[in-house]
Amino acid sequence: MADLHFLANPARFRRFSQRVLPGLGFATVLMLAVGAYMAFFVAPEDYQQGKTVRIMFLHVPSAWLSMGGYALLAALGASLLVWRHPLAALMARAAAPVGASFAAVCLLTGSLWGRPMWGTYWVWDARLTSMLLLFFLYLGHIALSRAYDSPERGDRAAAILALIGVINLPIIKFSVDWWNTLHQPASITRLDAPAIHNSILVPLLWMAVSLLFLFVWLVLLRTETEIDRRRLENAEAAA
């Protein structure tokens, strides 16, 4: 972490991101194309799920990234409150909608998969519900960071919210699990049947890495935009 402190200066970060972004974008597109080919043509159909197993290659990495994204928000929030890094606030502002989008993709693909498999778009399963609550926590973060006329105020309020949210996430997860087992036993909602075969696992991990590239690329690009936007606002205020 200490080595990343040199990026805390927005101007230095901008030079860094401008050098990295084109290559990263190119790599992301290439990896996603290869991943899509693997997911659609190389990976075999599941003997029970048929073609719908291919949804998992988008669904599972989205779930991982939306959870990782919230951890990133909390880390950025801590870095803003402890070291007052101006860039942490801008990056949190950039990362929150990306994380929320991955949570939304996870929920949408999950319900599209659920329709043929479980016969319904939505069940009040513990996993679905906690992902929905994670999505709401993202929405709260986005709304709070943009609620004030002074952006710095919103940034710091959202940072506190992210830290409290990350403490509460395990508690929410635990209580939702408990709630579900109280009401209905796990029926068809078990994904972790036997161990996953390599022919499925390799495309899945490939897609996870490509989507991680996409995540990083989007966050860097949006952070750059936020830096420009903040500069414009400051210039307008000064003029």
Partner 1 sequence: MSGFTTLLARDLRLVLRRPGDVGVVLAFFVVATVLFPLGIGPETNLLARIAAGVLWCAALFAALLSLERLFAADYEDGTLDLLLLAPWPLELAALAKCLAHWIVTGLPLSLLAPFLGVAFGLDGESLLALGATLLVGTPTLSLIGGLAAALTLGAPKSGALLALLALPLCVPTLIFGAGAIETLAAGDGIVTHVAILAALALVALATTPWAIAAALRQAGE
Q: Does 136 interact with partner 1 (rule: CB under 8 A)?
A: yes
Could you tell me which of 105, 106, 59, 62 has the C-alpha nearest to residue 212?
A: 62
Site for partner 1 in 144-173 (CB under 8 A): 144, 147-148, 153, 156-157, 160-161, 163-165, 167-168, 171-172
In the complex, least distance from residue 167 CB atom to partner 1, rounded to whole angstroms = 6
Q: Two tokens at 176?
A: 């939702």
Q: Is there binding between residue 182 and partner 1 (CB under 8 A)? A: yes
C-alpha angle 89/93/94, rounded to 5°?
A: 115
Both tokens of 120, joined, read: 């319904």
CA 118 to chain centre: 26
**Percent of residues in the chain assigned helix, strand, coil, to nearest 5:** 85, 0, 15
Distance between CA 142 and CA 67 in Å, rounded?
A: 16
Question: Does residue number 140 form part of the binding site for partner 1 (CB under 8 A)?
Answer: yes
> Which window, 3-11, 42-50, 140-148, 206-214, contacts partner 1 (CB under 8 A)?
140-148
The site string for partner 1 over 85-124 (x = CB under 8 A, - otherwise) reads: ----------------------------------------
Closest approach, Cβ 165 to partner 1, in A, equals 7
Three-state DSSP class for residue 46: strand
Place of tokens 């101007």: 11
- Shortest Cβ 15–partner 1 spacing (Å): 31
The verdict on 175 binding partner 1 (CB under 8 A) reads yes
Q: Does 81 bind partner 1 (CB under 8 A)?
A: yes
56-83 helix and 86-118 helix, angle to the nearest 10 degrees: 160
Distance CA 229, CA 159 (A): 20
71 binds partner 1 (CB under 8 A): no
Stretch that binds partner 1, among 33-41, 62-70, 177-185, 228-236 (CB under 8 A): 177-185
Kindly give the residue spans of alpha helices, DSSP state H, lying in 146-192. Answer: 151-183
Q: Give contact residues for partner 1 (rule: CB under 8 A).
A: 81, 133, 136-137, 139-140, 143-144, 147-148, 153, 156-157, 160-161, 163-165, 167-168, 171-172, 174-176, 178-179, 182
